[in-house]
């Protein structure tokens, strides 16, 4: 056997020979996501591990998602709903519900920003998806990755890959998707509205709030207890002031570790051979439409409140009603500051933003109560 025979056998056994056009297409998509995460800094904490997982899983013969493969082992945390629930605990420990408590109207804005969930649900049922599948697809409109994974695992596990990838990708691309919609639906005068300072919220209110939310929502919709329960437990760690070590762990070490493993696992769901089909493309398109309708729903209700209050509410805070915390609130602040540099909408936008987290979880619980037995 000469050198050229050895070289030919080596190439035949290598990943180069096994590359398909689907692999190449998904690797190129991962490169685009690398660019957005590293150069454009579009939520790199989410987008970088997702794009690298997508990149790795499309390298042929690497076996990362085979039985016993390292990312396949990680993905059990997604399939079991462990990672989504732990992420909610970390988010709860980092979240200040004071803006929502101080301004309860934020709940209405958070609810309005779930419009896309129901629009996508209706549309998906019309193009051939079952009601359970449509419900899982619709949750993408809430811009809530953990909740999307949670409901997909319960209602449409076979669609987990495209739903998870779409939900997290759109969450990361909020700074790109939302501003054009916000500007199209508001006037310069509305965007420049400066809102007054929120009232100070007492420690007692902060402690009672998470307990009351879990009690009411879990009794109303028991299936939402795992998500909301851990969200509010994390928040109680923070607000009680008596378990600082637990709060610090949930806010930092735990959520950082889970984010790495969750991101890699979600990205690794986008294997070219199974990911690139017509159903996936439909889900990604409907997810984008749902997200746009949710943004529009929040802004339009914000405009209505602007009129009702005589111009005291800036409609831009309505767009933060999607549950991507705190990304959507930061976008509201950025767009508002461009029209009025003295504007500080961040705390006002955080109210609808955290209300959106509760709203999307409640929507998921509602769908699961209705469709869990129809799978």
pLDDT tens per residue across span 288-337: 999 999 999 999 999 999 999 999 999 999 999 998 888 899 999 999 99
Residue 170's pLDDT is 85
Query: Which 3-state string (H, E, C) describes the chain?
Result: CCHHHHHHHHHHHCHHHHCCHHHHHHHHHHHHHHHHHHCCCCCHHHHHHHHHHHHHHCCCCCCCCCCCCHHHHHHHHHHCCHHHHHHHHHHHHHCCCHHHHHCCHHHHHHHHCCHHHHHHHHHHHHCCCCHHHHHHHHHHHHCCHHHHHHHHHHHCHHHHHHHHHHHHHHHHCHHHHHHHHHHHHCCHHHHCCCCCCCCCCCHHHHHHHHHHHHHHHHHHCHHHHHHHHHHHHHHHHHHHCCCHHHHHHHHHHHHHHHHHHHHHHHHCCCCHHHHCCHHHHHHHHHHHHHHHHHHHHHHHHHHHHHHHCCCCCCHHHHHHHCCCCCHHHHHHHHHHHHHCCCCCCHHHHHHHHHHHHHHHHHHHHHHHHHHHHHC
Residue 286's pLDDT is 92
Tell me: pLDDT of 283 over 80. yes
**pTM recorded for the entire structure:** 0.90
- Residue range 175-201: mean pLDDT, rounded: 94
Q: How confident is the model at residue 113 (pLDDT cuts 50, 70, 90)?
A: very high
- Residue range 65-72: mean pLDDT, rounded: 90
Residue 88's pLDDT is 95
């Amino acid at each position: 056997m000469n050198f050229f025979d050895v070289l030919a056998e080596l190439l035949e056994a290598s990943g180069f020979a096994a590359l398909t056009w689907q692999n190449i297409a998904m690797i190129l998509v991962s490169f685009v996501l690398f660019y957005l995460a590293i150069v454009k800094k579009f939520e790199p904490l989410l987008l970088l591990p997702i794009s690298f997982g997508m990149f790795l899983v499309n390298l042929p013969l690497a076996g990362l998602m085979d039985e016993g493969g390292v990312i396949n082992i990680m993905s059990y945390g997604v399939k079991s709903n462990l990672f989504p629930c732990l992420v909610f605990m970390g988010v709860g420990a980092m979240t200040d519900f004071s803006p929502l408590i101080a301004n309860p109207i934020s709940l209405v804005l958070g609810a309005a920003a779930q419009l896309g969930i129901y629009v996508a649900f209706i549309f998906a049922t019309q193009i051939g998806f079952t009601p359970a599948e449509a419900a899982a697809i619709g949750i993408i409109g809430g811009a809530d990755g953990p909740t999307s994974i949670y409901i997909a695992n319960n209602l449409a596990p076979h669609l987990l890959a495209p739903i998870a990838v779409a939900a997290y990708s759109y969450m990361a691309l909020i700074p790109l998707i939302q501003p054009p919609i916000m500007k199209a639906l508001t006037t310069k005068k509305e965007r420049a509205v400066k809102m007054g300072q929120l009232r100070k919220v007492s420690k007692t209110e902060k402690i009672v709030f998470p307990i009351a939310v879990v009690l009411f929502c879990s009794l109303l919709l028991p299936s939402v207890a795992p998500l909301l329960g851990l969200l509010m437990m994390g928040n109680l760690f923070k607000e009680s002031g008596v378990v600082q070590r637990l709060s610090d762990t949930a806010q930092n070490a735990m959520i950082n570790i889970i984010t790495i493993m969750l991101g890699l696992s979600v990205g690794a769901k986008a294997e070219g051979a199974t990911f690139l089909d017509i159903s996936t493309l439909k889900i990604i398109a409907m997810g984008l439409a749902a997200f746009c309708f949710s943004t529009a729903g929040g802004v339009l209700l914000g405009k209505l409140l602007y009129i009702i209050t005589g111009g005291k509410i800036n409609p831009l805070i309505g767009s933060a009603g999607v549950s991507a915390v705190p990304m959507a609130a930061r976008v509201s602040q950025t767009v508002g500051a461009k029209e009025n540099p003295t504007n500080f909408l961040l705390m006002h936008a955080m109210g609808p933003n955290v209300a959106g987290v509760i709203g999307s979880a409640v929507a998921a619980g509602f769908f699961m109560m209705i469709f869990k037995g129809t799978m």
